[in-house]
């Protein structure tokens, strides 16, 4: 609990943590299990980490669950992930008592109709929650998001000199939340994989070799502790 309360005011505290939930496949492979078993284990980790973030008083958590590039995967894996999402959406009553608000970012249009309905239902029923706000990124790609923002801006008929950084931000899926200040990627990969590429301009990064299904609150605690010691200058001195 005390992670934030114990922190002296002069130390930076993250407002918005974004996590690339990576390593499910390798976790399963190590156990000679199908990749989908890794995704099931990863979904459990997500629930545990979201609850932990809520407990320590974090405001925003955004997790990468399925990228615009992940459609390239074998059909049965994609189906497995979509079924897992379906089950999860039917079962999020458990977040209710935690006062967690659930939102989704990405191009949701190509998703199955029942999934879209469930997403809407989950967003609506948790809309009044005042605790942690969780964004789940599904069929999300940073370049796709920026391309869509440009299309919307052009279609609105604004003149070039009216185009500002703020206007672009306002046309992204994340228009109503602050930029992530801390991006975490487990599984030993050191890349963004098209995640929040506009929003991460001044984020701090933390990498770990731990595979996502093995990721525990203690790892997040370690990461946040390191964040407290980062010197964020934003181009200043
Ligand atoms: C992340 O785990 C989950 C998704 C991309 C849907 P991976 O499935 O990418 O796991 P690895 O990287 O193959 O281990
Ligand atoms: C990024 O992981 C997407 C998600 C975690 C949902 P990937 O496993 O798809 O990324 P790459 O292919 O290793 O860059
Ligand atoms: Mg991966």
Region 175-185 average pLDDT: 98
193 lines ligand 2 (CB under 6 A): yes
- Rounded distance between C-alpha atoms, residue 49 and residue 31, angstroms: 23
User: Residue 4 pLDDT > 70, yes or no?
Assistant: no
Predicted pLDDT of residue 11: 82
Spatial CB neighbours of 13, under 8 Å, sequence gap ≥ 6: 4, 7, 227, 228
- Rounded distance between C-alpha atoms, residue 147 and residue 153, angstroms: 10
Tell whether 195 is covered by a domain. yes
Predicted pLDDT of residue 150: 98
Tell whether 55 is covered by a domain. yes
- Bridge partners (DSSP) of residue 170 are none
What Rg do the C-alpha atoms of the chain give, in angstroms? 18
- Rounded distance between C-alpha atoms, residue 123 and residue 126, angstroms: 5
Predicted pLDDT of residue 8: 52
pLDDT (tens digit per residue) in 105-152: 999 999 999 999 999 999 999 999 999 999 999 999 999 999 999 999
Tell whether 8 is covered by a domain. no
pLDDT (tens digit per residue) in 152-174: 999 999 999 999 999 999 999 99
Confidence of residue 37 (pLDDT cuts 50, 70, 90): very high
Confidence of residue 1 (pLDDT cuts 50, 70, 90): very low
| 70 catalytic residue (yes or no) | yes
| 22 catalytic residue (yes or no) | yes
Tell whether 172 is covered by a domain. no
User: Residue 203 pLDDT > 50, yes or no?
Assistant: yes
Predicted pLDDT of residue 12: 86
pLDDT (tens digit per residue) in 46-85: 999 999 999 999 999 999 999 999 999 999 999 999 999 9
User: Residue 204 pLDDT > 60, yes or no?
Assistant: yes
With the most atoms of ligand 1 within 8 angstroms of its CB, the residue from 187, 208, 212 to mutate is 187
pTM: 0.95
| Position in ligand 1 atom list of the atom nearest CA 70 | 5
The CATH number covering residue 26 comes to 3.40.1180.10
Residues, CB within 5 angstroms of ligand 3 (ion): 22
Tell whether 207 is covered by a domain. yes
Q: Residue 102: which domain range?
A: 16-142+179-227
Predicted pLDDT of residue 184: 98
Higher pLDDT, 19 or 6: 19
Ligand nearest to the CA of 185: 2
Tell whether 123 is covered by a domain. yes
Tell whether 160 is covered by a domain. no
Ligand nearest to the CA of 74: 1
Number of domains composing the chain: 1
Tell whether 233 is covered by a domain. no
């Amino acid at each position: 609990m005390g992670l934030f309360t114990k922190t002296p005011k002069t130390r930076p505290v993250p407002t918005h943590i974004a996590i690339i939930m990576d390593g499910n496949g390798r976790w399963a492979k190590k156990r000679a299990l199908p990749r989908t078993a890794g995704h099931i284990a990863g979904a459990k980790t997500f629930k545990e980490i979201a609850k932990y973030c809520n407990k320590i008083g974090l405001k925003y958590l955004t997790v990468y669950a399925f990228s615009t590039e992940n459609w390239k995967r074998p059909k049965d894996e994609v189906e497995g992930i979509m079924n897992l999402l379906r089950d999860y959406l039917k079962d999020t009553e458990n977040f209710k008592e935690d006062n967690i608000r659930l939102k989704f970012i990405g191009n949701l249009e190509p998703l199955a109709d029942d999934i879209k309905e469930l997403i809407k239902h989950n967003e609506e029923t948790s809309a009044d929650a005042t605790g942690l706000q969780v964004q789940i990124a599904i069929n999300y790609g940073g370049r796709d998001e920026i391309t869509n923002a440009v299309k919307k801006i052009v279609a609105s008929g604004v003149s070039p000199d009216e185009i500002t950084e703020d206007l672009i931000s306002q046309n992204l899926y994340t228009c109503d939340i602050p930029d992530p200040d801390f991006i975490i990627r487990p599984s030993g990969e050191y890349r963004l994989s098209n995640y929040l590429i506009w929003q991460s301009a001044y984020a701090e990064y933390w990498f770990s070799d731990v595979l996502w299904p093995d990721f525990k609150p203690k790892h997040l605690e370690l990461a946040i502790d390191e964040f407290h010691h980062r010197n964020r200058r934003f181009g200043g001195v």
